Structure 1
Amino acid sequence: MNQDGRHDVSLLAHVAGIRAQEGECPNAQLVSEQQQLAVAQRTWYTILDPQTGSQPLPGWTVCPSCVLNIQACCPAVASGFAPVHPAGPREASCALVPSDRYDDRRTAEILQQLGSCVAMAAMLRRPDLSQLVNWLRANLPQPRGTGTLSSAGPARPQGNGLCPMNYPSTTLRCHTMPGVPEFTVCEQCYANVIRADAARGVELATRFDMSPSLTPSGVTCQLYSDRMRRVWSETVATGNLEYLRQKASRVVSERRVKERELQTKTAQLQQQAMQLRLQAETQELTFLQPDFSQTTQLNNQAAMLKLQAAQAEDQIRLAEEEWRRYWE
Structure 2
Amino acid sequence: MPLFKIPSHFINGFLTVIFGGSTGIEVSTVVASATIGNNICQNRFSPNLYKLELICAGVVAGVSILFGSPIVVWLFAVEVIAKKLNKSIFVSCTMSAMVAWGFLLVMKPDIFLDYRITDWKWSSFPFFIVLSLLGGTLSVYFTLLVTRLKNFFSGINNNFFRVNLGAITVGLMILEFPFLYGDSYHALAPLLQHPTQYSMLFLLSLVILKPLASALTLGAGGDGGVFAPSIVVGGFLGFLFAYVCNNYLGTSLIYLNFMLVGALATLSASIYAPLTALFLVCNLAPNAYVLFFPLLMASFISRYFAGKLLPYNVYTYQMK
- The TM tier, using the shorter chain, reads under 0.3
- Structure with bigger RCO (C-alpha 8 Å, 6+ apart): 2
**When the two structures are superposed, what TM-score results if normalisation uses the length of structure 1?**
0.23
**When the two structures are superposed, what TM-score results if normalisation uses the length of structure 2?**
0.23
Q: Which one has a larger percent strand, Structure 1 or Structure 2?
A: 1
- When Rg is computed on C-alpha atoms for both structures, the one with the higher figure is 1
